[in-house]
Structure 1
Amino acid sequence: SNTESILGGIHGILYEGRARTIRIRNTYTRLTFAFGLLYLALVIFVFGALIGILELFGFNPISIILFLFFLALVSYFAFRIRYQAQRWKVVENQGTGALLASVLAIPVVRTGRWLSRTFSSINVFVIILDFIIETPFKRLLNFSNQFLYYLKEKAEEMR
C-alpha cells in the first residue's frame, strides 16, 4: 500500500495538477504564544505524572532523576532509530491511541534531545549509551521489522 500511495501521489501531481501548497508562517504571533503556554502545560503534566507514578512505586528523588534522565535519552535514541526506519514510509497507520501516545511522548523526547546535545561533548558517555542502548535496540527493531514483514507476507499468502 506504500507503493500505491507513492504512485498515486506522483500521478496526482503530474497528470491531475494536485500539489501541496506551502504555507510560510510568520515567526511569532499571539497564537504562537498560546501554543507555547499549552506546550508548557503539557510538559508539566507529563513530567508531573511520571514523577507522581514513580513516587507511588517508592522511588526516592535521586532515583527519579536518574530514571527520567535515562528515560529521556532512551526515548530520544529510540525516536531517532524509528525515524530512520520510517523515513521512506508514506502511508500512515496511526490511530487515536498512537497519536495520543506520540503527543504525550514529545516532552520526553525533546528533553532527551536536549540532554544528548548538552552531553555530546562527553564522548565516552555518548559512546557507552550508543553501545549499550542504541545498538541492541537497533538490532531488536530491525529484527522485529523483518518479522512483521514476514508475517505480512504469510498473511497475504493465505488470501
Structure 2
Amino acid sequence: MTTYVRVDEDLFGRMGLKFVVTPDGQALELLPGQLAEPGADVISHVGEPRFQVRMSTPVLTDADVPDVLGLALRRVADRLFGVMPDGTEDPDASGIVEGVMGPAAHDGGLLLSLDTDGFGFNPPMLETMTRIFVEELEPLAIPVELCAASWVTDEIPPAWRSTADRLDG
C-alpha cells in the first residue's frame, strides 16, 4: 500500500478514447479522462497512454515542481521504454513504447504522454506502468495523485526543466 502516491482506481477506464453504448442504446465517444457510466458497454478502447501527476498545489511553471519529483518522472519516462505488451518490464529490451513526451507542466499537473506507434495499451501494460510510477515516486514522500490525462491537442508542451537547467540557460 502506498502512502504518498494515490492512483486513480479507474485509471484504465479513463485512459484513451472510448466508444460506448449506454444502457439506453445511445452511442457515445468518450475522451481521455472521461469514464463510461455504470452499465455502459465499452465497444472500443483506443489511443495512447497519457498520465498526469498532480500535487496538492497546481503546477503552473517548472519552478512549482520540486526537482526530486521532476527528476523521478524523468526516470519513470526512461523505464517506460522497457514495458512489454504482456506487461513485463525488461530494461534491456525495447518494449512497445517508442517515445515519451514529458514530464511537462500542463493543466495544473505534470504530463507524460506516450507514443506506442498505434499499438495502444492494455491492462497488463498499464498495471506495470503504474507500478513504475509508484516505485519511483513513493520514496520521495511527496503526496501526488496519478491519473489519466485529459484530452491533449497535438501541441506538445515544453519539457520540464530542473532548477539547474533553468539557471544554465
Fold equivalence (TM over 0.5): no
Q: Which structure has the bigger radius of gyration?
A: 1
Whichever structure has more helix as a proportion of its residues is 1
Q: Kindly indicate whether structure 1 or structure 2 has the higher relative contact order, using CA contacts under 8 Å at least 6 residues apart.
A: 2
Whichever structure has more strand as a proportion of its residues is 2
Question: What is the TM-score when the length of structure 2 is the normalising length?
Answer: 0.23
